[in-house]
Amino acid sequence: MRTLRPAIRAKRPAPAMTAADERFARRRPTDHSRLDREATRHLPPGPRWPSLLQTVALIRFRHWFVPAMHARYGDVFTVRILPRRQPLVLFTRPEHVKEIFAGDPEVFHAGEGNAILGPVMGEHSLLLLDGPDHQRTRRLLMPAFHGAALRGYQRMVAELARAEVSCWTPDVPFRSLDRMNALALEVILRVVFGVSDEARLARLRPLVNRTVDVSPLVLLGGGHRLLRRLDPWRAMLETQRALDEVIFAEIAERRCAPDLATRTDVLSRLLTSEEEDGLTDQELRDQLATLLLAGHETTATALSWSLYELARDAGQLAAARSAAVRGDTEHLEAVLKESMRLHTVIPMVVRRLRQPATIGGVDLPRGVNTGPSILLTHARVDTYGDPEVFRPQRFLDGEVRTNTWIPFGGGVRRCIGAGFSLMEGVAVLREVLLRHELSLPEGTVDHPKVRNITSVPWHGARIVVRPLASRLGNADAASLDSGPDKDEVP
C-alpha cells in the first residue's frame, strides 16, 4: 500500500547568505540626494538622447561614441546615464586632468566613482574606498609593491614567461590575447597569491576567466535583485560564490602555513605585516580579488597589443629585439607604454564630487560624476602630434608630458600596481623577443571591443611566431636564459 504524501509540504529553508550574496545585496546605490538637479541644467553641453541610449553608447560603443561627442561638443562635455539621467562630465585637456588629480580626495571621491565594481571586488577593495579607509588600506598594501619587493618578483615572472613562450607553435596563427591572459593570470596566482597547489590553481583559473569575460551590461546590472534570478546575472553570482570559497580557503591555510614568515608572495607579505591594524580575512579577500581581476587583464591586454604592433612594423620589432638583447628595459617599457596609450584599456577615470568644485573654469555641483577621458587624453593631436602612430620613441625622447599619459590614473589614487604591471610587461616582452620572430597573419587588422569595463583586441591580436634562437650570435644566444639584471626594475 502506498504511503500518502502529506497535503502540505514543509517549506524549504532559504539558502544561507554567502559573502558574495551580501556583496551583491548591499551594492552601494547612487546617492541622488546630494545631486543639485537645478545646477545640473547648467553643465557643459552634451547629447540629448535618452539616458538608456547614452548609457549603452558609453559602455558598449565607447570607441565611437566618446570621440564623436568630443568632435561635436569640444574638450568638456556631459553625458547623462542611468539611473535617473546621472550626469558624467568628461574632460580631456592636460591642465584639466592635473586639476582633477590634484583635487582634495575628500571632495573628489574615487571609490564612489568605481561603485559598479562593488559586487565583484567587494566594499573593502582599494578601488572602492575613500577617505581614511583608503589611506589605511593603501598604507598596508604599499610594502608589497615597492621597489625591493618588485625585484623579488621579477625572476619568477621571467621564469613563467619563459615557460609560456617556449611552448608556442611556429607558423600557426594564434590569439596573443588568450596566451597573455593565461600568462598574466598565472603570474597573479603564483606571485601575488603564492598558490602552488595544482588542484587549487585548476579551480581558480576558470573562475577568474568567467568573472572577467562578462559584458559591461551584465556587470552594470549585477546589483539588481530581480536580475540576479536570471541568467546571465545568476551565473555571475554563482561564479562569485565559488571564487570566494577558494580565496577564503587559501587565506585560512596560509595563516597557518609553517613557512609563512619566509614566503615572499603578496598574500604572505600582507599576513606577516607588523601593522597593528592588519587586514581581516574579508579585507584580504577584497584586495586579492581586486589584484586578481584588475591586475591581470589590463597587463595582458597591453602585452597583446604590444606584440600586435611590433609584428606589423619590422623597424619597431628590430629596435625592440635589440633592446631585449642589451637588457634595455627603458626601451621595452616604452613599447609597453605606447601600446597602453594607443590602445586604451580603461576608458576613463571617474570621481564623484562630495562638494561643489570648479575644473577648468567649469562650476560643477555636488553629486556629479566627473573625470578625464583616458581615451581622448591619449589621442590629442596637440599633445602627441601623430597620435594614431605607434611610436615608442616618444617616451624615450621626453615628448610625453605629465598628465597626458594616464592609464594608471594619477594623484593619491594612482594605481598601486602600476610598477608591478610595467615590471611584468617588460619581463614578458623580453622573453618573447629573445625567442621568436613575430609577424601578422595575412590580412590581419584588429580593433578594440568592450569586455566588462575594459577594451580588448576584437580578434585577439592574432600573430604568427617563428623560433629565433638559431639566428642569434653566440653572445646573444647566451643571454636567452640569463634573465635581466636583478636591479633592472621599472
* Residue 351 φ then ψ, to 5°: -125, 140
Burial of 274 (0-12, 13-18, 19+ CB in 10 A): exposed
If you ran DSSP here, which 8-state letter would residue 192 be given?
Answer: I
Buried b / exposed e across 41-77, counting CB within 10 Å, b at 16+? Answer: eebbebbeeebeebbbbbbbebbebbeebbeebeebb
One-letter amino acid of 3: T
The Cα 202–Cα 199 span in angstroms is 5
List, in sequence order, the alpha helices (H) in 74-197.
94-101, 110-113, 118-121, 131-141, 147-165, 176-187
Is the distance from CB of 274 to CB of 113 less than 8 angstroms?
no
**In CATH, which of 3.40.309.10, 3.40.50.720, 1.20.20.10, 1.10.630.10 is domain 19-481?**
1.10.630.10
Domain spans in the chain, listed from the N-terminal domain onward:
19-481
The region, left, alpha or beta by phi > 0 then psi within -120 to 50, assigned to residue 74 is: left
Strands 462-467 and 436-439: antiparallel
442 in helix, strand or coil? coil
| 295 CB neighbour count, 10 Å cutoff | 23
Is the distance from CB of 408 to CB of 418 less than 8 angstroms?
yes
Going from the C-alpha of 402 to that of each of 64, 255, 395, 411, the distances in angstroms are 26, 42, 11, 11
Is the distance from CB of 438 to CB of 318 less than 8 angstroms?
no
Is the distance from CB of 462 to CB of 444 less than 8 angstroms?
yes
Is the distance from CB of 324 to CB of 436 less than 8 angstroms?
no
How do the pLDDT tens digits run along the chain, 490 residues long?
445 444 444 444 445 678 777 777 766 545 555 676 767 788 999 999 999 999 999 999 999 999 999 999 999 999 999 888 899 999 999 999 999 999 999 999 999 989 888 888 889 999 999 999 999 999 999 999 988 899 999 999 999 999 999 999 999 999 999 999 999 999 999 998 999 889 999 999 999 888 887 777 777 776 677 777 778 888 888 999 999 999 999 999 999 999 999 999 999 999 998 777 889 999 999 999 898 888 888 999 999 999 999 999 999 999 999 999 999 999 999 999 999 999 999 999 999 999 999 999 999 999 999 999 999 999 999 999 999 999 999 999 999 999 999 999 999 999 999 999 999 999 999 999 999 999 999 999 999 999 888 999 999 999 999 998 654 544 454 454 555 544 444 4
Is the distance from CB of 125 to CB of 227 less than 8 angstroms?
no
